[in-house]
């Protein structure tokens, strides 16, 4: 908990955050997980809300919220994992979705990360499938409304 106090999550556009987000994604997905670089780039980024997590002055995590309510590209640098960075990124993106009126969010979780998303109310809604040669599961979470 003490460490979480040192983590800050910023929300912004691809123009503002793209360079840092791309650097983190490449380190995690391409260098670490061996996802082909060409699969990492798509045309959706300029349309998304992007989250960047900063810890001790360095950007260490990222994620994005699509216009259709999908969350994706959640990535925390290996050296920064287990400190609550992923939690704050996901909560910020879920809050951004709720604030704009979305009632649910969906994502394609890598199979190994389902337990992480379950902590935040996500449930699997379909069978496992392969994407970029990595097993994935579609998950969904309802967003609590503060409008009653």
Ligand X SMILES: CC(C)(COP(=O)(O)OP(=O)(O)OC[C@H]1O[C@@H](n2cnc3c(N)ncnc32)[C@H](O)[C@@H]1OP(=O)(O)O)[C@@H](O)C(=O)NCCC(=O)NCCS
Chain residues binding ligand X by CB under 6 A are 28, 74-76, 81-87, 109-110, 112-113, 115-116, 119
Cβ proximity to ligand X, 92 vs 110, nearer residue: 110
Q: Put residue 82 in one of left, alpha, beta given phi > 0 → left and psi -120 to 50 → alpha.
A: left
From residue 97, how far is each of 38, 73, 85, 101 by CA, in Å?
28, 16, 19, 7
CB of 31 to ligand X, least distance (A): 11
Smallest separation (angstroms) from ligand X to the CB of 148: 28
CB of 44 to ligand X, least distance (A): 16
Do the Cβ atoms of 88 and 9 come closer than 8 Å?
yes
What is the C-alpha separation between 131 and 47, in angstroms, rounded?
22
Residue found by looking up tokens 């699997």 in the block: 124
Q: Are 76 and 61 in contact (CB under 8 A)?
A: yes
Closer of 49 and 110 to ligand X (Cβ): 110
Rounded to a whole number of angstroms, the minimum distance from the CB of residue 83 to ligand X is 5
Nearer to ligand X, 15 or 31 (CB): 31
Instruction: Name the residue nearer to ligand X (CB basis): 49 or 92.
Output: 92
């Amino acid at each position: 908990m003490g460490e979480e106090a040192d983590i800050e999550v910023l929300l912004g556009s691809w123009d503002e955050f793209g360079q840092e987000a791309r650097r983190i994604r490449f380190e995690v997905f391409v260098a670490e997980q061996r996802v082909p670089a060409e699969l990492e780039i798509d045309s959706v980024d300029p349309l998304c809300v992007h989250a960047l997590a900063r810890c001790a002055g360095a950007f260490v995590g990222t994620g994005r919220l699509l216009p259709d309510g999908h969350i994706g590209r959640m990535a925390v640098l290996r050296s920064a994992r287990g400190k609550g960075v992923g939690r704050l990124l996901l909560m910020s993106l879920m809050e951004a979705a709720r604030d704009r009126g979305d009632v649910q969010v969906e994502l394609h979780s890598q199979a190994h990360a389902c337990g992480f998303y379950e902590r935040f109310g996500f449930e699997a809604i379909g069978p496992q499938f392969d994407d970029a040669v990595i097993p994935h599961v579609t998950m969904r979470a309802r967003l609590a409304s503060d409008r009653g």
